[in-house]
Amino acid sequence: MVILRVSERTLDEVSQRLKIHEGFYDGFEIEFESLEHPEREDWGSFFLQAKGLRILSIPRTLVHHAGPLIELSRTLIKRRLFDMVRVPYEKNQSRGTIQDVLEEEAHADGVGVIRSIDMQNIHGENEVDTYPPKLTQGLVKEKDVLHLTLNPSGWRELGPFVERVILDRRKEDVGIRKSFTLEGPYGFPFQVLASRLGSCFTFTSPQSNGPLVDPITLHTVYRYPSFGPQTALFGIIGNPVLHSRSPHLHNRGYEALGIDAVYVPFPVDDLESFFSVARKLKIKGLSVTIPHKESVLKFCDWCEDAVRAVGACNTLVLSEKSIKGYNTDVEGFLEPLKRVFPTIRGVNALVIGAGGASRSVVYGLVREGARVLILNRTASRAETLAAETERTLSLSEGTISAGPLDREGIALVKQLKPDLVVQTTSCGMHPKEEEDPFPDLSFRGQEVVYDLVYAPKETLFLKRAKAAGCPVIYGDAMLIHQAFRQFLLFTGKEYPRQLIEGI
Ligand SMILES: NC(=O)c1ccc[n+]([C@@H]2O[C@H](COP(=O)([O-])OP(=O)(O)OC[C@H]3O[C@@H](n4cnc5c(N)ncnc54)[C@H](OP(=O)(O)O)[C@@H]3O)[C@@H](O)[C@H]2O)c1
C-alpha cells in the first residue's frame, strides 16, 4: 500500500494535497505536529471526504511532553476518525508509558496500531537481533504493524539493516505485519522497493525533492503497482546518482516490452558493504558510474577485453555464481560515429582530454583503425594514455600522437587535418557551462565535432563548431547508445529504440 505522508498547516491544505495526488496513493498519514491549530480543525467534516486508509502519526516530541495534543489524539482515536495510529516507540522502552496507553486505547476502540521504532545507531548484531519478538509484544496479529525506520549515513550502516532486518526471513513474527522506511539518499532505492522486499506500506512524501520518494515518480518512473517479489531487479551504482536519467530509460524499455523488471538508483559510498548484500537482494544487473568505474573491477569474476584495455567497467551482470564486467562506453561512443563515417579506418581523429572517458574513446578509435592525436591540459597524461593504448593493442611506439593544449598542440592539429574532433573533458558540463577546453582551436568546417558532455546538450565548444559549419554529434547520443547495449546485456532483448526520438 502506498501511503502519502502529508505535513500541511491546515486540514484544508491537506485536502488539496490529497486531491493533487488522487490515484497515486492508497492511504495517507497526517503528521500532527505540522498542523498550526489541530484543536480548532473540523476533523469530522474532513474525514467525510477523505479517501483511503487514514493514519494519524503521533510525533515523538508529543509523547515526551504529554499535553492537550495527546488529549486531542485520544479523542480522535476514540471517535475512530482514523483507521490506524502510528505511535513512536523506543527500542528499550519500559512499560506503562503514554505510548502503551495510546496503544491500549486504540485497540479498545478498534483502531490499528503502527508501532514505529527508530533503528538509528544500530551498530552491533545483538541490537538488530533484539527487535523481534521483544518489539512486537502487545501487538495484535493481522491488525497491527511493526514499522522500522532508519536514515542511514552510508552503506556500512545500511548493509547490516538490509541483511539482518529486511532480508532475514527467520525474523518473521507469525502474523505481525512489518513495514520499513529508509530515509535519505542511501535509503531511496529501498523506498521504491519496499513492497518488493515485504514491507506492507510504502511511505511517500508529496514533493519530488522531499525526504521520501514522491508517489507520482513511484508510479510513473518505477511503475510501482506492476512489481512484486519476483520482479527482476536492476540498477545503477554511483555517488551521487539520484539525478541519473538511466532509471527513466531502462524502466520505459521494460514497460514497452512487457518485461517484469525494475531499475533503481543505488547511491553507494562503500562497495564492499554494497556487494555483500547485492546478491542477496537478487540484483541481476548494474550500470556503474562515477566514482566506481575502476574500483568495481576487483569484484568481477570475468571481464570483457574492452574492460581490461580501458581499465574501467560500466556494466555488471550478476548471477548466483559470478559477476561479469563489461564496458559499453566504447560501443556507445562508436555507434553514433558509424552513422557518419562509413568506416572509421583511416579517419584522422583529434581527441581533447585524457581522463576516464577519453580512455574509452581512444581505445575505440584506435581499435577501429583511426589515426589519433590526444591533446590534454596536462600533456603527460596524454602521453601516458597514448603509450598504454599502444601496449594494449600491441601497436608500435609513436602510433598514437600526444601533446598539450597550446601552440604546440595547434601545430600538431594543423599537421593532422582532423576529420573528427572529440571533446572528452568536463569543460562545458554543468556547472562549467562557460568553459571551452581549447579556445585557440579553430575549425575548418568539414570536420565532424563530437562532444561527450550531455548536460547541457549543446556546449560552447559545439556552438563554435556549428558556427564554423561543422556537423556535430551530441553527448547524449553516446549516453543512450551505451545504455542500449546494457539493456541487451541485462535482458537479452534489444531496446525499443522508437521510444527515444531523434537518435
Ligand atoms: N556522453 C557520455 O556517455 C559520457 C560518458 C562518460 C563521460 N562523459 C563526460 O565526459 C566528461 C569527462 O569525464 P571523465 O570521466 O573523463 O572525467 P575525468 O576523468 O575527471 O577527466 C577530466 C578531463 O578533463 C580535463 N579538464 C578538466 N578541466 C579542464 C579545463 N579547465 N581545461 C582543459 N581541460 C580540462 C582534464 O585534464 P587534466 O588531465 O589536465 O586534469 C581531463 O583530461 C564529463 O563531463 C562526463 O560527464 C560523457
Grid cell listed for 61: 516530541
Round to the nearest angstrom and report the end-to-end CA distance of the chain: 38
How far, in Å, CA of 329 to CA of 306, rounded? Answer: 9
pLDDT digits (tens, 9 = 90+) for 385-410: 999 999 999 999 999 999 999 999 99
Q: How far is CA 135 from CA 19, 146, 175, 334, 462, in A?
A: 36, 8, 14, 57, 61
Query: Is the pLDDT confidence value at 66 over 70?
Result: no
Sign of CA dihedral 323, 327, 331, 333: positive
How far, in Å, CA of 264 to CA of 266, rounded? Answer: 6
pLDDT digits (tens, 9 = 90+) for 126-176: 455 555 557 788 889 889 999 999 999 999 999 988 988 888 766 566 678
Query: Is the pLDDT confidence value at 293 over 50?
Result: yes
328-338 and 356-367 are packed helices; what angle lies between their axes, rounded to 10 degrees?
60
Grid cell listed for 49: 471526504
Backbone φ and ψ of 349, nearest 5°: -120, 130
Residue whose C-alpha cell is 546494457:
486
Query: Is the pLDDT confidence value at 77 over 80?
Result: yes
Grid cell listed for 186: 542511501
Residues 199-220: what's their mean pLDDT? 91
HSE-up (13 A, CA, CB side) for residue 266: 28
Residue whose C-alpha cell is 495534543:
69
Query: Closest Cα to atom 29, ligand 1: which residue?
Result: 427
The pLDDT score that the predictor gives to residue 503 is 47
Closest Cα to residue 301, out of 325, 320, 326, 272?
325
Query: Is the pLDDT confidence value at 121 over 80?
Result: no
Query: Is the pLDDT confidence value at 28 over 90?
Result: yes
Pocket test residue of 244, 361, 378, 426 for ligand 1, highest count of atoms within 8 A of CB = 426
Percent of the chain with pLDDT over 70: 95
Pocket test residue of 363, 380, 424, 441 for ligand 1, highest count of atoms within 8 A of CB = 424
How far, in Å, CA of 419 to CA of 343, rounded? Answer: 12
Residues 91-98: what's their mean pLDDT? 76
Distance of alpha carbon 105 from the chain centroid: 41
293 a catalytic residue:
yes
Backbone φ and ψ of 102, nearest 5°: -60, -45
Query: Is the pLDDT confidence value at 65 over 70?
Result: no
Query: Is the pLDDT confidence value at 107 over 90?
Result: yes
The pLDDT score that the predictor gives to residue 118 is 86
pLDDT digits (tens, 9 = 90+) for 337-395: 999 999 999 999 999 999 999 999 999 999 999 999 999 999 999 999 999 999 999 99
Q: What is the DSSP string of 395-415?
A: --TTSSEEEESSHHHHHHHHH
Q: What is the set of domains in the chain, with CATH numbers?
A: 2-228 (3.20.20.70), 250-328+482-499 (3.40.50.10860), 341-470 (3.40.50.720)
How far, in Å, CA of 275 to CA of 278, rounded? Answer: 5
Residue whose C-alpha cell is 505522508:
5
Residue type, 22: E
DSSP-derived 3-state class of residue 30: strand
- Which is more confidently placed, 182 or 91? 182
Distance of alpha carbon 74 from the chain centroid: 40
Residue whose C-alpha cell is 598539450:
404
Query: Closest Cα to atom 18, ligand 1: which residue?
Result: 355
Contact 238, 290 (CB under 8 A): yes
The pLDDT score that the predictor gives to residue 220 is 95
Grid cell listed for 171: 525474523
Task: Please provide the average confidence, as pLDDT, over all residues in the chain.
Answer: 92
pLDDT digits (tens, 9 = 90+) for 449-479: 999 999 999 999 999 999 999 999 999 999 9
The pLDDT score that the predictor gives to residue 407 is 97
Residue whose C-alpha cell is 531511496:
188
pLDDT digits (tens, 9 = 90+) for 279-290: 899 999 999 999
Residues 6+ apart with CB under 8 A from 501: none
Cα 424 to ligand 1 centroid, rounded to whole Å = 5
Cα 64 to ligand 1 centroid, rounded to whole Å = 53
68-78 and 98-108 are packed helices; what angle lies between their axes, rounded to 10 degrees?
20
Q: How far is CA 470 from CA 116, 419, 445, in A?
A: 62, 10, 4
Grid cell listed for 301: 569474476
Q: Which of 141, 178, 284, 293 is catalytic?
A: 293
Grid cell listed for 22: 488522487
Query: Closest Cα to atom 21, ligand 1: which residue?
Result: 355
The pLDDT score that the predictor gives to residue 170 is 61
Residues 102-122: what's their mean pLDDT? 90
Cα 294 to ligand 1 centroid, rounded to whole Å = 15
